[in-house]
Structure 1
Amino acid sequence: MWGRLWPLLLSCLIATAIPGPSPRRPSRELDATPRMTIPYEELSGTRHFKGQAQNYSTLLLEEASGRLLVGARGALFSLNAQDIGDGTHKEILWEASPEMQSRCHQKGKNNQTECFNHVRVLQRLNATHLYTCGTHAFQPLCAAIDAQAFTLPATFEEGREKCPYDPARGFTGLIIDGGLYTATRYEFRSIPDIRRSRHPHSLKTEEAPMHWLNDAEFVFSVLVRESEASAVGDDDKVYYFFTERATEEGSGSFTQSRSSHRVARVARVCKGDMGGKKILQKKWTSFLKARLICHIPQYETLRAVCSLDAAASTRSRFYAAFTLTTQWKTLEASAICRYDLTEIQTVFTGPFMEYQDGTRRWGRYDGGVPEPRPGSCITNSLRSRGYNSSRDLPSLVLDFVKLHPLMARPLVPARGRPLLLKHSVRYTHLTGTPVTTPGGPTYDLLFLGTADGWIHKAVVLGSGMHIIEETQVLREAQPVENLVISPTQHSLYVGAANGVLQLPLSTCSRYRSCYDCILARDPYCGWDPSTHGCVEATTIANRTALIQDIERGNRGCEGSRDAGPPPPLRTRSVLRGDDVLLPCDQPSNLARALWLLNGTRGLSDGQAGYRVGVDGLLVTDTQPEHSGNYSCYAEENGLRTLLASYSLMVRPATPAPAPQAPSTPEAQLAPDVRLLYVLAIAALGGLCLVLASSLLYVACLRGGQQRGRRRRKYSLGRAGRPGGSAVQLQTVSGQCPGEEDEGDDGEGAGGLEGSCLQIIPGEGAPAPPPPPPPPPPAELTNGLVALPSRLRRMNGSSYVLLRQSDNGVPAGPCSFAEELSRILEKRKHTQLVEQLDESSV
């Protein structure tokens, strides 16, 4: 029992120890709702590109040349960044040969997904060339491409040390000052590694006596120019974000498998690192890593990271998307956390962890730290002491770095809690850009791609994150694989499995009123009083006149007359007791519908026959008191906007009696005339009843006489004429000849061999058959199928039903009602003769 309770208790203790969301925050903020929902059919201003390849997952935007470079499966493309679908693109086909694909398949790889050349590296190498690497059917290759001609070279480079062999393996790569910085698992049996190649000093992470990386899956890397404007002569650094297996103290419950528990990490290396002279030769001497915590430490998986203002180290910040899962994996959610570079630097200057052989876990190191501080870059202070490069560092320092790569303090998010939590959503990629508003403040605008083809556009505020809109950018549910922002083109580029999509960063014309424009809280959009429209701030010369309220989202339009035209008054008339729906579509998911009756009485759901829904007000079992004027408002963020107005009139269910005319002799005779009509109808009804009773009595009497007689045969023909044909007849109440009649004269079938013809006699004298009526409709008005053509009308008053059964065996009862029911229900299984003799008896 304690074994089952201990993981839950420990999870609660850690969750309370780690700063999390304030319990006083509204529940709506804990599961953020996008304000607007834009389905795929309502997209506007989009452009598409799709070539013959698949998996357009590698994107490189070059603002200077106005080109968007795309790496796909078996191809590379150079697109016009202004309009990716204008048809002016360049293409390079780079497929793996059939021999390579066959060899890959023989190794047990999937020849439908893996045994191709997936482009994983696409970077600017120098002023004239691009550098690219592909998996090449699990035999990676790299090449330098002429950027202007956009063609492959004649020779290729071996890619084993630069590119992952597996297209699904986590990977990140950068080219910095001509050197290639990559992080992945490079070979099938190798461990993950952070390497620098194409550089005079190639480096990698340490593998012995312990692995610096433990089954790591890399997500993102970025260069931060910390040397610029540095007062201490600091070096630039490359930061890596990844997820790996962890065994340090406090990393999770003790009952969890150490091989399955994973944590998020951030690591860094110095760009000027040259490795050690005797110890850590060709290894990083500046490698350090720390743990990332977002919300629930035990159940976090890092999915994506983006950096903003990496060129200015003092303002550099990172946004990370995590997937949160419970221990029983019954709930999935996503969280967005922000980490400032200054906090990361503080963590890397804090205490270290040490691997303890006794417990085989990482614990806090409390011993002495040598000088210069292990893991630090070469600064002016170190140069003044004779340490001009990492090769000059003492062996004691390098030994310490080799055994203590992990920091003791975790990195907690800014404000101590996530900026955003979203249930039932898995973010796969994110990117962002700072936007300076006309009023002066700058806000971070993020675009978050989901696993089912949607993009959430969100702005970072002082109180958290506000999701401006959610847009379905991919018709089919598939992951968003890459996102790139171009402020110059005012575009967002989306990479997916089946193509590339270009979207505008904002669509301000979607907002029709001043209040709608400021409620959106889009940093790109502002209300222009001169044009009475919501416009993009970047297109207006006089930006100071624009109305915006990004932080609060409800101020600025009080004195404006641009609240929008009032909706027209619509009239609805309904009978008493009926139901009526008064439509009112709420354009915002954050708005609450408010209904007022006659301008004062508020209506709530379930009150006196009222049902308030997302699409309007339903009035059930209408009564006269329901008549009146109904107004539908949208209440959002303290603002109230009129959306619809109705005038409802409930009419009586029966028409009101007409006003009586003045008393006249003609009016006095009206009641007497009605009385005569009633008496005449009653007399006719009585007469019909008497006649019906008489006919029923006669029919019963005749039927009794027939039942008392012995069954017999009739022969129709000319008397005494030899060779006259005979037809066997039978009354309605009798049956076809059976076994009891087999001993008679042998003429049971008459002129019809092997069958028995049953005839229902009609009334009246024999008469020639009338011409056949036109074919009946396929369907009668009551829903029954049309009667079969064997039912014929005779003499204008009665019907004759002809039926022939096989082998002289009756198919069932021969009464009219039962026979008709049998035909209607089993007509497909009854053998009928198309043309039969008709007789009237």
Structure 2
Amino acid sequence: MDLKTCYAHCVLLLVLVLLGSFPGPLRGFPFGPDLQLDAPPRTTVLFNGLLGCNRFRGSALDYSALLLEEEAGVLYAGAREAIYALDIANISSPRANHSIKWPAPAEQKRQCLNKGRDNQTECYNHIRFLQRLNETHLYTCGTHAFRPLCAYLDVEQFRLSRIEDGRDRCPYDPAKGYTGLLVDGDMFSASQYEFRSTPDVRRNFPFPLLRAEEAPTRWLMEADFVDSALLRESVNSSIGDDDKIYFFFTEKNQEQTAYSSQRRVARVARVCRGDIGGQRTLQRRWTSFLKARLLCSIPDYELQLNVAAACWRARQDSRLHRGLDWSAVCLYSVADIQKAFDGPFMENQDSKWREFIGKVPEPRPGSCITNQHRALLINSSRDLPDNLLTFVRRHPLMASPVLPLRGRPLVFKKSINYSKISVLPVAAVDGVVYNMLFICTDEGWLHRAVEVGDHVHIIEELQLFSEPQQIYSMVISQAQRSMYLSSQSGLVQVPLATCQKYTSCYDCVFARDPFCGWDGTTCADVSLHTDRSSLIQDIEMGNRGCPSITGDGSTVHRVRSVMAGDDVLLQCELLSNLATPLWTLNGRDLPGPGLGSSYRVGTDGLLIIGAQPKQSGSYRCFSQENGLRQPVRRYTVRIQAPPVSSPLAPLPSGPESQAYRHMEALYMSLVAVLGGLCLVLTVVLLYVSFCARGRAGSPNRKYSQQGVMAAAVAAATERKRSSHLELKTISSHCNGRVSRRGTAAGEDGSLLQIVPGEGGQLGSPGGSSGNNRDRTPPPAPPLPMPPPLPASEFANGLSATLPSVLRKMNGNSYVLLGQAEGETTSPLYHSFTEELNRILEKRKHTQLEDVQTDESSV
């Protein structure tokens, strides 16, 4: 089966499960050295840095259903009370007259409100089902303000041609889990139907309608459905087997097992497509319904299902990918799922489920009709004997769980939660087919990853939306080299790969992206090259093929001139989260940041503490990844000693001495003149003072003197106020950190503000006498937030992209202006904040007078 056919059977499976925090012993995962406990994405692309994306945002909200038809070049999107037809080449340009408004009438919305439902979210017509029915029509269903309706959609005229009752085909509640399939005109669905939210797996049409059993053994216990998948096993089957339909869901735990403390467990259920129910027993009920437990286990602890995706192949080596809450991905074999359904049954005894140890009837209960059945004159499910159907009614649950391949997760992350996953097989340059994983988080980020051997390499993470929001649906078009994702606000079209963003051979190879290869000048899309023999690509190791680096190449070079004793920050930012910084001085590696070392290495650069002249020289920063070094920046640092005052030189002799004496006489004359002027002014001041003393007895003399004194005090107070600054912190969390995908810097309180104040009298009354003692100066208004920092280098050599931005005040104090979360992903990350608080604020700096301090001094 070719890749395109294989992908056509890839489906999205989602189960919403809430997990508590892991217990302490979980810290020692006994998975062996191959499992990455917290695999980081190699690169991070923020919303403003996305390349080649197209967006669609119509008048509606909640785009919950997508249908991609590549041959017609159309993407159908079902939203709240609207259906759109978009051009898959560019979804930003909707086709003319290709939108349908399907609102719930006002009377139905009023009845919905009277039932106690939310008029802001629930009392609308949310499109939940949208699939191809035949060559001329689509079939769609909506909640219709808690009275579901379904309709036939004429594709050519793009209008609803017939509307019918949908209460048995669509859930009432738009928030309930739901899945459905149209298979050659037959509709299969699973959800919590009806107003009382009864979970069920149904065959909706054609007749006969089938559903799950509720008595004496209830087959489904508060089930929450995710998705469904068709596995065609009737094609070229040697035993005349039937096609299978698999449903994925979580439900209330029923077993008494080691994990019985968990309230909900993950399940996979199976029915036969040709099932038409029993003749007397299980009339209009499934005769082939079986369910088994899906595990992605850590010894002694189980991770519950959160995401699943499968690429079904009609072979025994078919595999199922499952994602789990706490961001784990497990790999399953369809053969193992089939083995579980062929294993022992469970039975309910005294309200407790135990493994059945009795005799199982023949032919095996729950199996599809095969040549073995036909040999016994059982040509359909209605020909099955009653004893076999009675066994099926009482034993829907299998005893053996389905375990992941290698008995452990493929990848595990503790920082985020995955919510959707899709799988696409991609052939690399060497012809090896790799599984590309496209995994969405619950905040609207997309992880592009590749399955390499027994682990997953996350190529990059993309922020698809400016605001966090869940992704509802995801489909992939290989013809357009795009994937389409829907959310609450709209749709986004994302390229499968953006190879052009890798600017060097090493960047292209380090990415380990099967879509990309280096052609000698650029990183190009592999699919665009018919001759791939000249392309450089290394998916397995990510470090082979590129020519060795012999020089600095096009690295940035800067010159820094600073004074001895200053602290210098040499910026060097790494583009890869997997890279580590390496610094050299005059060709030698710098020592590690141990105790007493004058160097500190961080993800933003190198900090030289108390620079000395012996530390002058040529500094080089390398990005070290996959065992290879790549030059990033080069600095020439010149550290100058403070100027030393020299003794007075002897007076010159000869003619020069004569000229010097003339100048000395001139200066003496000038001093004598100035002295005479000073004497005259002194006499005048004494006379004025004597006159003022003679009028000391007048009635106004006291008030005049007090006025002079008050003015002097006021002036002194103003001078005092203007000579001090009060450093106020807007938030007590000035050194705290915020989420990288949350608020911007400055909105979380991680900003310091300088306002006028009185030194040494913070919060105390101002003034020196009289009414001034009862007056408290009003608080100064907060200063406006500074404008965003430019991306270019500042006057002090720092960059807006640094995790910490520092400013110097009065020569020896430092203020942390902003610090963002999530930017310290390097294993060698070292925060400079504590170093600056402990070391730099205690140091008094002497500024150079004849040499301007370089901008790289912190």
Q: TM-score, normalised by structure 1?
A: 0.77
Trace 1:61-72 onto structure 2 (pairs within 5 A). 61-72=68-79
Q: 1:151 to 1:695 in 2, by over 3 A?
A: same
Q: 2:320 aligns with which of 305, 318, 321?
A: 318
Q: 1:91 aligns with which of 99, 107, 121?
A: 99
1:543 to partner: Cα distance: 1.6
Query: Secondary structure of 1:372's match?
Result: coil
Identify the residue that residue 157 of structure 1 maps to in structure 2: 164
Distance 1:671 1:400 in 2: 125
Q: 1:192 to 1:820 in 2, by over 3 A?
A: closer
Is the 2:560–2:638 Cα contact (8 Å) retained in structure 1? yes
Match of 1:565, as an amino acid? G
Identify the residue that residue 451 of structure 2 maps to in structure 1: 460
Match of 1:69, as an amino acid? Y
Distance 1:562 1:544 in 2: 25
Deviations 1:574-626 (A, max 9, x none): 12222222111101000000011111132433563212111111222211011
Match of 2:558, as an amino acid? R
Is the 2:295–2:302 Cα contact (8 Å) retained in structure 1? no
Query: Which 5+ residue runs of structure 1 have no aligned equivalent?
Result: 1-7, 324-332, 714-728, 736-757, 763-778, 786-815, 829-841
Q: 1:345 aligns with which of 334, 338, 344?
A: 338
Trace 1:108-123 onto structure 2 (pairs within 5 A). 108-123=116-131
1:687 to partner: Cα distance: 11
Distance 2:108 2:500 in 1: 52
Match of 2:104, as an amino acid? A
1:298 to partner: Cα distance: 5.7
Q: 1:315 to 1:491 in 2, by over 3 A?
A: farther
Identify the residue that residue 791 of structure 1 maps to in structure 2: none
Identify the residue that residue 276 of structure 1 maps to in structure 2: 278
Distance 2:429 2:613 in 1: 54
Identify the residue that residue 626 of structure 1 maps to in structure 2: 615
Q: Does residue 712 in structure 1 map to residue 684 in structure 2?
A: no
Which has the larger Rg?
1
Q: Does residue 601 in structure 1 map to residue 603 in structure 2?
A: no
Distance 2:399 2:102 in 1: 46
Q: 2:51 aligns with which of 17, 24, 44?
A: 44
Distance 2:30 2:138 in 1: 45
Q: 2:559 aligns with which of 556, 562, 571?
A: 571
Is the 1:82–1:489 Cα contact (8 Å) retained in structure 2? yes
Deviations 1:521-541 (A, max 9, x none): 111111113xx2111111101
Trace 1:577-656 onto structure 2 (pairs within 5 A). 577-605=565-593, 608-654=597-643
Q: 1:761 to 1:642 in 2, by over 3 A?
A: closer
Match of 1:613, as an amino acid? G
Deviations 1:453-493 (A, max 9, x none): 21111111113111100000101111122111111110010
Q: 1:514 aligns with which of 505, 508, 515?
A: 505
Deviations 1:773-818 (A, max 9, x none): xxxxxx9999589xxxxxxxxxxxxxxxxxxxxxxxxxxxxxx998
Distance 1:688 1:600 in 2: 68
Q: 1:35 aligns with which of 31, 42, 56?
A: 42
Distance 1:637 1:670 in 2: 75
Distance 2:468 2:778 in 1: 50
Q: 1:305 aligns with which of 305, 308, 311?
A: 308
Query: Which 5+ residue runs of structure 2 have no aligned equivalent?
Result: 1-19, 713-717, 725-766, 780-858
Q: 1:166 to 1:702 in 2, by over 3 A?
A: same
Q: Does residue 475 in structure 1 map to residue 466 in structure 2?
A: yes
Match of 1:336, as an amino acid? V
Distance 1:376 1:140 in 2: 34
Identify the residue that residue 752 of structure 1 maps to in structure 2: none
Deviations 1:153-212 (A, max 9, x none): 1x4110010000000000000001111110001112142000001123211111101210
Is the 1:295–1:335 Cα contact (8 Å) retained in structure 2? no
Trace 1:415-434 onto structure 2 (pairs within 5 A). 415-434=406-425
Identify the residue that residue 82 of structure 1 maps to in structure 2: 89
Trace 1:124-143 onto structure 2 (pairs within 5 A). 124-143=132-151
Distance 1:683 1:822 in 2: 50
Match of 1:191, as an amino acid? T
Q: 1:407 to 1:158 in 2, by over 3 A?
A: same
Q: 2:206 aligns with which of 175, 189, 199?
A: 199
Identical positions, percent: 44
1:654 to partner: Cα distance: 2.2
Trace 1:13-412 onto structure 2 (pairs within 5 A). 22-25=31-34, 29-88=36-95, 90-153=98-161, 155-250=162-257, 252=259, 254=261, 261-296=263-298, 300-308=303-311, 310-323=312-325, 333-357=326-350, 360-412=351-403
Trace 1:784-803 onto structure 2 (pairs within 5 A). none
Provide the aligned length of Structure 1 versus Structure 2.
710
Question: After alignment, is 423-432 or 283-292 more displaced?
Answer: 423-432
Distance 1:432 1:450 in 2: 15
Q: 1:221 to 1:665 in 2, by over 3 A?
A: farther
Match of 1:339, as an amino acid? Y
Distance 1:701 1:688 in 2: 20
Is the 2:85–2:94 Cα contact (8 Å) retained in structure 1? no
Query: Secondary structure of 2:340's match?
Result: helix
Distance 2:662 2:264 in 1: 97
Query: Secondary structure of 1:78's match?
Result: strand
Choose between structure 1 and 2 for higher RCO, CA contacts under 8 A separated by at least 6 residues. Answer: 2
Identify the residue that residue 10 of structure 2 maps to in structure 1: none
Identify the residue that residue 805 of structure 2 maps to in structure 1: none
Supply the RMSD in Å over aligned alpha carbons: 4.0
Deviations 1:255-307 (A, max 9, x none): x6xxxx00111111111111111111111111111111113586644333222
Is the 2:549–2:630 Cα contact (8 Å) retained in structure 1? no
Identify the residue that residue 493 of structure 1 maps to in structure 2: 484
1:133 to partner: Cα distance: 0.2
Is the 1:192–1:215 Cα contact (8 Å) retained in structure 2? yes
Distance 1:223 1:306 in 2: 13
Query: Secondary structure of 1:397's match?
Result: helix
Distance 1:284 1:826 in 2: 82
Distance 1:564 1:502 in 2: 38
Question: After alignment, is 647-656 or 48-57 more displaced?
Answer: 647-656
Q: 1:555 aligns with which of 525, 544, 553?
A: 544
